[in-house]
Structure 1
Amino acid sequence: MTLKYAYFPGCVAQGACRELYQSTRALTQALGIELIELKKASCCGSGTFKEDSQLLEDTVNARNIALAESLNLPLLTHCSTCQGVIGRVDERLKKAGEQRPEYVDQVNGLLQKEGCSPYKGSTTVLHLLWALVGDVGLENLQAKVTRKLSGLKCAAFYGCYLLRTQEHLPYDDPYDPQSMENVFRVVGATPVMYRGRTQCCGWPLSSYATDQSFHMAGGHIQEAIAAGADCMVTPCPLCHLNLDSRQPEVERVMGQKLGLPVLHLPQLVALALGVPPKELGLDRHIVSTRPVLEKLGL
């Protein structure tokens, strides 16, 4: 049976990290997954809407979830921040439906005023990582590997939102996650463990405490390098921006050259499935991914 999802790409993958959008499409096509993109979806707010109003965050994202519900499909995103925000709203509204149904009625009343479908709480919100681990399955994923990434040492960078914004985390432990490392093993790469892999990348601080943000990012990169990593791999485009796009600025703050490539999760997995590097946007990165491709003989 073909896996099918309502696809929520989010903002960053359609702008600054276009290669994430590109590589997700390439990966899902290689896996035979059908994506129905939610063209009318709005920004999840990246956690900022609730600073003004919890009702605002819940209503905006109830609408996003309702778009998936109207298709009778799970909502799939490749952005950890979107997963954290939308997944948390879904949990909160499902709980409210049992304990405070009047709050869900309030949210749906606002949606109705705008001519939107109501939130029903009838679907799930999944990150691409959870879809790979839980729906595709590691054994099935391994069976589709045509290019083992042997000898490549990968340092997972989970970040914050994927792990600790929701009360119930599928397929993993929020404080000692293993899902990305398990994916690495399945595609033939070697996981590298280091302290900062589950910590914040520093992106939320970057607009008002830039040096502190870059010190956070730089410290994680230094640890990964010291552990022997050939690259970092992240499931979050905002983490990617701080770790890759701003790595030259991070280097200036840290006072040393780093030069560690940072891959998006679907780029890594798609490489193992035989997708050509040129189809994955690997030339769009600020830190060259050439050392990774050379190590793989590509």
Structure 2
Amino acid sequence: MTLTVVINGAEIPIGTDKIIIKGKKRYLTSRLLYFTLKTFSQMPRLYGVADSDPVKAWKRNFEQKYASILSSHLDPGKIRLKGEFTLLAKRFAISGKIDGNGLKVTVDLLEKPSNVSTGLRGMVEVDSFYFTGIERPKPSLIPGSKDGFLGGFHRFLVLQTESASGIPKTLGIISEYINSIVLPQGFSTNVLGRVVTIDEKEGLFLDGEPLYNVDPEMLSLIGLKLSLDMAPENGVVVLEDPEAHLSDENKDVVKEWIDKYKGTMVIVTCDNIFSNGKVIEA
């Protein structure tokens, strides 16, 4: 990948197999990273409306659209993130600041196209110049409280009709996690010799027992397994507290699952067993 993200001064190279985030501001850093990447992955092509200066128009449209998408992720769930971020792409850089005064986004054009046409054709040329050849990996977030979220909202993981029912964005980080897992009717999987199945009306069961009655360690393992299995290949997984509720034996199991992921794994942890990677102090 050709992306580097800087969160509050901490440089995070996307494409590195494993990144470890430690320090007092580790959750702020990891979640700001997640939403920075998620917004970038969802940016539409900006052909826009014909303009006499297509380069300036593209820059302005990008800043407005990026800020709008990022706000749409943060505002409904009252997700309060404070800090600065920069995403360095191939030919441009996105910088932003979130504080008590709101959100501000600016785009710096590191390169500019030459001999650009005017009007709508020029907008297409500029948009292709900046978007061609850049990777926009899809991120997923596995929060530290995954066991509680999974136990409380497991019914919403099941595909109901043409799309998952999901939960509203007003539930913030919970919705980011739960809505990233979509399980079809008839789904089943094996987690350490125990069978996870779906009841059409009741949600997930483990060996015939409702998931909300399962112990925290097993819930954590199920949550990790489902999320890692569904994470997009060559994406970015932001994994908080993989060690939560786990015995030393099961930490080794989870470490094996993590090592199998084909993409960038960002691990937020204070546990040394998961700290073999590029360490970033936040």
TM-score above 0.5, yes or no: no
Hey, which of these two has a bigger chunk of helix by percent?
1
The TM-score normalised by the length of structure 1 is 0.27
Hey, which of these two has a bigger chunk of strand by percent?
2
Using CA pairs below 8 Å that are at least 6 residues apart, which structure has the higher relative contact order?
2
Q: Between Structure 1 and Structure 2, whose CA radius of gyration is higher? A: 2
